[in-house]
Structure 1
Amino acid sequence: MALSVETPTPPSLADNVDPNEYDDAEVVGDTDYRRKELGELLQDGAWADAFELWVSDTSLTEDEWRIVLDIELLSQFDFFWDDFADRVGYHAPGLPEDWKERDIHPDINSWKTISSINAGLTELGQLTCEVLKDEYITWESEYEAPEDLPDFS
């Protein structure tokens, strides 16, 4: 079932966050996270392209999408370059396990809603990374493997 909604503004990427602080991301070694460049690519169409693909296949309902917008979850997305892995990494926002105690939104009334929103945003984040890497990024990884690695060929 496709979600019929307008493409939201791409998230702004903050330079002051270390991706290793996220529970769902790990970046090896020192790296330039290239958030400025990624932010420009998101603005130049990568976000819109990824969002268009995502809405055509997401299982998120319009009510769940309204919750995402109401509590501004999209602004909490983060995308960063992982030079070691030659990939775009991401952190997807999500709703916490203690949603009942925190009274986050009046329309959140079940674990199904929480699970659906969290899974949908994870899928959007992953799809955005794929679109960025496959269709927008033109740079090459600067990581060079040490010369003393064993040859397994």
Structure 2
Amino acid sequence: MTLDVETPTPPMLKSAVDPNEYDDTTVSADDDYRRDQLSTLLREGAWEDAFEEWAADASMTEEEWDIVTDLDLVSRFDFFWDDFADRVGYHAPGIPEDWKEREVHPELSSWKEVSSINAGLTEFGQLVCEVLKEEYITWESEYEAPDDLPDF
């Protein structure tokens, strides 16, 4: 199913957030997460390329995307370089489990919608990472494994 919506503006990557603070991320690296370089690559086309690819196959409906837009969830994405793993890491925003009690959005009415939105944003975040790594990043990991690792 195709999601026929405009490509949103790439998020401003917040350099003050340590990726290890996210519940779903562990990064073994120094404090250089290359967010400035990733922001530049996102603005130079990686964001649009990933969004177009994701939207062409997205399971999210336009009504669900309107909720994402209304809540400004896209601006809460975070991307960072994990030098140890030689990959782009990310944190995808989402709708909290207590969305009903908090009355997050008046058009949000079912767990199916919440699940679709959260899964769609996660899939998009992963795709952004893949596009960045495969098509835009030209640097090499600076991490060097210690010489005393066992041979397997």
After TM superposition, the score normalised by the length of structure 1 is: 0.98
Q: Helix, strand or coil for the counterpart of 1:42? A: helix
Partners of 2:31 and 2:142 in 1: how far apart?
Answer: 9
Please tell me whether the aligned partners of residues 29 and 82 of structure 2 are also in contact (alpha carbons under 8 angstroms).
Answer: no
Partners of 2:23 and 2:110 in 1: how far apart?
Answer: 24
The sequence identity of aligned pairs, in percent, is 72
Partners of 1:86 and 1:29 in 2: how far apart?
Answer: 10
After TM superposition, the score normalised by the length of structure 2 is: 0.99
Where in structure 1 are there 5+ consecutive unaligned residues?
A: none
Q: Helix, strand or coil for the counterpart of 2:59? A: coil
> Which residue of structure 1 aligns with residue 84 of structure 2?
84
> Which residue of structure 2 aligns with residue 38 of structure 1?
38
> Cα distance, 1:62 vs. partner?
0.3
Q: What are the equivalent positions in structure 2 for 1:28-107 lying under 5 Å apart?
A: 28-107=28-107
Aligned letter for 2:15? D
Task: Please report the RMSD computed on the Cα atoms of aligned residues, expressed in angstroms.
Answer: 0.6
Partners of 1:124 and 1:113 in 2: how far apart?
Answer: 16
> Which residue of structure 1 aligns with residue 119 of structure 2?
119
The number of aligned residues is 152
Where in structure 2 are there 5+ consecutive unaligned residues?
A: none
Partners of 2:73 and 2:140 in 1: how far apart?
Answer: 31
Please tell me whether the aligned partners of residues 50 and 124 of structure 2 are also in contact (alpha carbons under 8 angstroms).
Answer: yes
Aligned letter for 2:126? Q
